[in-house]
């Protein structure tokens, strides 16, 4: 919001933001601070930089707790990889963009409002908001806010890791048994753009294994790898497509 705002304007922005984030501040000044970019602050201490520092740690704590409780069989290294993806600056910027948090950011006059907000600023304001909620309502309030973002992101990262594991395992088998590398071939794609499905087969040493369908190429390749592993091991094909 790079313009001169009245007290009523600011209150309207804060009210609208609280509706979007689904949290009502007991101390609205914390929300105001979380939304204040350095360009519009009188001093650096009045901006959201300090809150950003705290918010990063709160986010990390909540993610670690979720991973620890949800995946009791995962070792430290596995949890660390997932955490790194979920708390990354890219992920925080995506979370911020999902709810349009940048629309409520108080910017200085030298910054244009209305253009796409840089991803680093999107990430900053998200982490700052997390800290504001934590200071205002405690860890449970911050956790409630964060779970709507991190739960699907954790699921996505875990799912992608599993998909990659099947392909990695097949590659190990192919190199050990035949000294070759699996090739993934797109055989068909069907459906409208918003609901397209893909048919993929895996080929090793000129032999094609049973193909599989998937909602995107990555998942289709993972399912094709599982089909190949099943056939190699003499087990039923998990994803028959005919």
Among all residues, which ones are annotated catalytic?
Answer: 56, 127
Under DSSP, the state recorded for 237 is -
> What are the backbone dihedrals phi and psi of residue 70, each rounded to the nearest 5 degrees, phi first?
-80, -25
Given a contact cutoff of 8 angstroms between Cβ atoms, the answer to whether 21 and 35 are in contact is: no
Residue ranges in the chain assigned as alpha helix (H): 7-21, 28-34, 49-70, 76-86, 89-98, 119-137, 139-177, 217-232
The residue whose two tokens read 């995962």 is 74
Cα–Cα nearest to 170, from 207, 214, 213:
207
């Amino acid at each position: 919001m790079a313009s001169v705002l009245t007290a009523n304007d600011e209150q309207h922005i804060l009210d609208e933001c609280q509706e979007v984030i689904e949290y009502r501040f007991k101390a609205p000044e914390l929300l105001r601070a979380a939304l204040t970019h350095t360009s519009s602050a009188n001093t650096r201490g009045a901006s959201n930089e300090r809150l950003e520092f705290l918010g990063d740690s709160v986010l990390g704590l909540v993610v670690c707790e979720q991973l620890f409780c949800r995946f009791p069989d995962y070792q430290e290294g596995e949890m660390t990889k997932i955490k790194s993806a979920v708390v990354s600056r890219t992920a925080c910027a995506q979370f911020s963009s999902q709810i349009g948090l940048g629309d409520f950011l108080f910017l200085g006059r030298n910054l244009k409002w209305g253009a796409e907000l840089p991803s680093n600023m999107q990430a900053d304001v998200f982490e700052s908001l997390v800290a504001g909620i934590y200071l205002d309502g405690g860890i449970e309030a911050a956790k409630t806010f964060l779970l709507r973002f991190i739960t699907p992101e954790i699921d996505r990262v875990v799912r992608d890791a599993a998909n990659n594991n099947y392909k990695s395992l097949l590659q190990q088998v192919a190199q050990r048994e035949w000294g070759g590398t699996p090739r993934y071939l797109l055989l068909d794609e069907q459906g409208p753009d918003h609901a397209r499905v893909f048919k993929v087969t895996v080929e090793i040493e000129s032999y094609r294994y049973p193909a599989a369908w998937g909602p995107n190429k990555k998942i289709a390749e993972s399912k094709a790898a599982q089909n190949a592993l099943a056939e190699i091991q003499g087990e039923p094909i998990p994803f028959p497509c005919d």
